[in-house]
């Protein structure tokens, strides 16, 4: 039985067609946050359990001169920038959106008391297996019981996870769970307009929500130049290896399977547009023009 026939069979036979329709209709019910294979792959490629852009002391390093080890060191450096801002060494530290636990490891190394929070099943499983003894909350932060953790944390950290949070729910919740003299350490990218890519909060709106809930930014640093090397590295691989590989594969299909190429022909322009749109998001100049990556400490007034 040919591969093509196996695929077509699932569109032709009623019992298979019903399954196809059911899976397609329910695709949005399986939220990406609960089973993010992309993040899992990323974590397996980089061994330090970090899922962020990293922090390069030398922002002018050329992508051709970089290696995965350079990115790994930059990710550790990024984590250390956050740990350096922790003042309360005794109270629990909540890592919201803890990823694969890289920051958890650094917090423990610095004799701090982390509590991990993630809604992702892969991440939670990894945390339980690798970071035994670290308390773990497997949930969305917005679902945290504010009464149970009222004024419980000396420090709350959102490391490239703030962009995924609902500000109107999360900011007052952070205010509720932080101790009176507690500190919220945030590191993420923000937009200054509504143009371009959707990810990231609008900076003006974010600061307004902070003020509404009694928060003040007490430390702020633009680290956009320090994260751009990782973006440049990804862009280099996408344009110099990914695109030529894509053209090679399509060329092979044209020669070896002209029928499949013909079937794909109308969809190819849309596929090309999607590829180049994704590449735009990892183009350093476009990223820097549309977003600003900010490290900050936030405290209640």
Per-position DSSP letters for 161-184, written without gaps between them: -GGGS-HHHHHHHHHHHEEEEEEE
The whole-number average pLDDT for the span 101-126 is 94
Which has more confidence, 174 or 244?
174
Write out the E strands in 66-159. 92-96, 113-118, 136-138, 153-159
Residue 33: name the closest of 101, 127, 98 by CA.
98
38 pLDDT tier (thresholds 50, 70, 90): low
Mean pLDDT of the chain: 85
Residue range 63-225+290-300, CATH number = 3.40.50.150
Domain parsing of the chain, residue ranges:
63-225+290-300, 228-286
At residue 194, the pLDDT reads: 67
CA atoms of 109 and 120, how far apart (whole Å):
24
Instruction: Report the distance separating Cα 184 and Cα 186, nearest Å.
Output: 6
pLDDT in tens, 262-296: 777 787 888 788 888 888 888 899 889 889 999 99
Spatial separation of the C-alpha atoms in residues 145 and 149, rounded to whole Å: 7
**What is the pLDDT averaged over residues 147-158?**
97
Residue 52: per-residue pLDDT: 83
User: In terms of pLDDT, which residue wins out, 168 or 255?
Assistant: 168
- Confidence category of residue 56, pLDDT binned at 50, 70, 90: very high
Q: Which of 99-103, 158-162, 279-283, 290-294 has the lowest mean pLDDT?
A: 279-283
Which pLDDT score, from 0 to 100, does residue 280 have? Answer: 82
Across residues 173-177, what is the average pLDDT? 98
Looking at 37-51, 94-108, 199-213, 215-229, which range is the least confident one? 37-51
- Please give the Cα distance from 68 to 97 (Å, whole number): 23
- The pLDDT assigned to 44 comes to 62
**152-179 mean pLDDT:** 97
Say what the pLDDT of residue 272 is. Answer: 84
7, pLDDT greater than 50 = no
Most confidently predicted of 20-24, 67-71, 96-100: 96-100
For residue 105, pLDDT over 70 is answered with yes
The pLDDT assigned to 4 comes to 47
Average pLDDT over residues 95-110: 95
pLDDT for the residue numbered 250: 80
């Amino acid at each position: 039985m040919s591969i093509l026939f196996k695929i077509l069979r699932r569109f032709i036979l009623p019992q298979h067609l019903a399954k196809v329709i059911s899976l397609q209709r329910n695709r949005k019910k399986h939220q990406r946050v609960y089973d993010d294979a992309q993040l899992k792959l990323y974590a397996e490629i980089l061994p330090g359990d970090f899922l962020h852009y990293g922090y390069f002391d030398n922002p002018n390093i050329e992508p051709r001169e970089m290696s995965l080890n350079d990115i790994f060191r930059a990710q550790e450096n990024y984590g250390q920038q956050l740990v350096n801002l922790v003042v309360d060494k005794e109270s629990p530290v909540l890592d919201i959106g803890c990823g694969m636990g890289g920051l958890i490891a650094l917090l423990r190394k610095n004799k701090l008391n982390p509590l991990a929070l993630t809604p992702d099943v892969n991440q939670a499983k990894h945390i339980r297996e690798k970071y035994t003894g670290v308390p773990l909350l497997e949930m969305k932060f917005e679902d945290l019981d504010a009464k149970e953790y009222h004024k419980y944390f000396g420090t709350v950290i959102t490391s490239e996870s703030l962009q995924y949070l609902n500000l109107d729910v999360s900011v007052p919740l952070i205010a509720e769970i932080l101790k009176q003299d507690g500190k919220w350490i945030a590191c993420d990218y923000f937009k200054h307009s509504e143009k371009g890519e959707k990810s990231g909060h609008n900076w003006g709106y974010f600061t307004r929500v902070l003020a509404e809930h009694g928060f003040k930014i007490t430390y702020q640093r633009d680290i956009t130049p320090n994260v751009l090397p990782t973006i440049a590295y990804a862009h280099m691989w996408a344009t110099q290896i990914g695109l030529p590989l894509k053209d090679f594969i399509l060329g092979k299909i044209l020669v070896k399977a002209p029928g499949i190429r013909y079937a794909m022909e109308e969809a190819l322009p849309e596929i090309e547009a999607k590829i180049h749109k994704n590449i735009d998001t990892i183009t350093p100049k476009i990223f820097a023009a549309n977003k600003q990556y900010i490290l900050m400490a936030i405290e209640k007034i």
